Amino acid sequence: MDKKNIHVIPHLTQWAIKIEGENKIISAHKTQSSAIDEGRKLAKKYMSELIIHTAEGKIRDKDSYGNDPCPPKDTKF
C-alpha cells in the first residue's frame, strides 16, 4: 500500500476504517475509540496520516505518522 491517508469515518451505526481513494471499508467497529486504535496501528505501519471524522462526517483530528519534512506546530495540546 502506498502512503495513503487512513480515515476513521461513521458507517451505518458503526465506525469504519477506510483508506483514502478506495471504496472498500477495511474494518467496522462498534465504538469510535476502537476504530481510532486500529486506524492508528495502520497509520504507523504504513507511515501515513490518520484522519478522524465526527459523526457528521467533518474532520475532527489528524495525526501524522510519516516522515513529514515540514511538520506543523501542534497546537492541540
Q: Express each pLDDT in 9-65 by its tens digit.
A: 999 999 999 999 999 999 999 999 999 999 999 999 999 999 999 999 999 999 988
pLDDT at 3: 72
Task: Classify residue 71: in a domain, yes or no.
Answer: no
- Global confidence as pTM: 0.84
Give whole-number Cα distances, 51 to 33, 74, in Å.
13, 15
pLDDT of residue 77 exceeding 60, the answer is: no
- Domain contains 73: no
Does 57 map to a domain?
A: yes
What span, in angstroms and rounded, lies between the C-alpha atoms of 34 and 49? 17
Between 54 and 1, whose confidence is greater? 54
Answer whether residue 77 is part of any domain: no
- Cβ atoms of 57 and 42 closer than 8 Å: no
> Is 75 within a domain?
no
Contact 3, 48 (CB under 8 A): yes
Number of neighbours of residue 51 by Cβ within 10 angstroms: 20
